[in-house]
Amino acid sequence: MRRAFPKTLAAAGLMAVAVLLAGIAWAANDSARKSRVPMPNIPKALKEAEPGHAERLRNDHRQLLVHKRDQTMRRGIRTTDDSLKECVACHAVPGPDKLPVSAQSPEHFCRVCHDYAAVSIDCFSCHASRPPKDVANANKGGGGGGKR
């Protein structure tokens, strides 16, 4: 004759499994927050952008750059809207001499995230990685470009 499994023992077993699963989920979330890989220290832009600009570009900048390239190179449409020159001018990071660093420097705005993600930047094989001299001189006094 088989003995009936006590209901209280079954309930205690289910409770123990639930507590164990909750502990595993908490530990996984806690270890993700305390990751050993530090997040990149992204330099602050020199000008204020419209709301949502940073999030949009973080998510879609590759597609936007390709779209702009296609508009310019294949259709001959050249505007200052979403111009790479505008990006470089706004995100210039001053070096020790207070002049913007080039893409050769690990402090360059684009390099900070691209190095973090181990992604190469090919834009600057053709494009200038520093703003024009007049913009660089206007920003030489400091005003922005600090770390967030």
**pLDDT above 80 (res 109):** yes
The DSSP-derived string for 54-84 is HHHHHHHHHHHHHHHHIIIIIT----STT-H
CA 30 from chain centre, in angstroms, equals 22
The mean predicted confidence, pLDDT, of the chain is 80
Express each pLDDT in 10-63 by its tens digit. Answer: 777 778 888 888 878 777 665 556 667 788 888 988 888 889 988 888 889 888
Which one-letter DSSP state was computed for residue 123?
G
Q: Give me the residue label for tokens 């639930």.
A: 18
Q: What is the pLDDT of residue 141?
A: 47
Q: What is the pLDDT of residue 5?
A: 59
Q: Check if the beta carbon of residue 113 is closer than 8 Å to that of residue 142.
A: no
Domain locations along the chain: 1-34, 53-139
Q: Name the more confident of 104 and 28.
A: 104
Q: Give buried/exposed letters for 46-70 (b at 16+ CB in 10 A, else e).
A: beeeeeeeeeeeeeeeeeeeeebee
**pLDDT above 70 (res 82):** no
Q: What is the pLDDT of residue 83?
A: 77
As a whole-number percent, the residues of the chain with pLDDT over 70 amount to 78
Q: What is the pLDDT of residue 27?
A: 73
Q: Give me the residue label for tokens 């020199």.
A: 46
As a whole-number percent, the residues of the chain with pLDDT over 90 amount to 20
Q: Name the more confident of 143 and 44.
A: 44
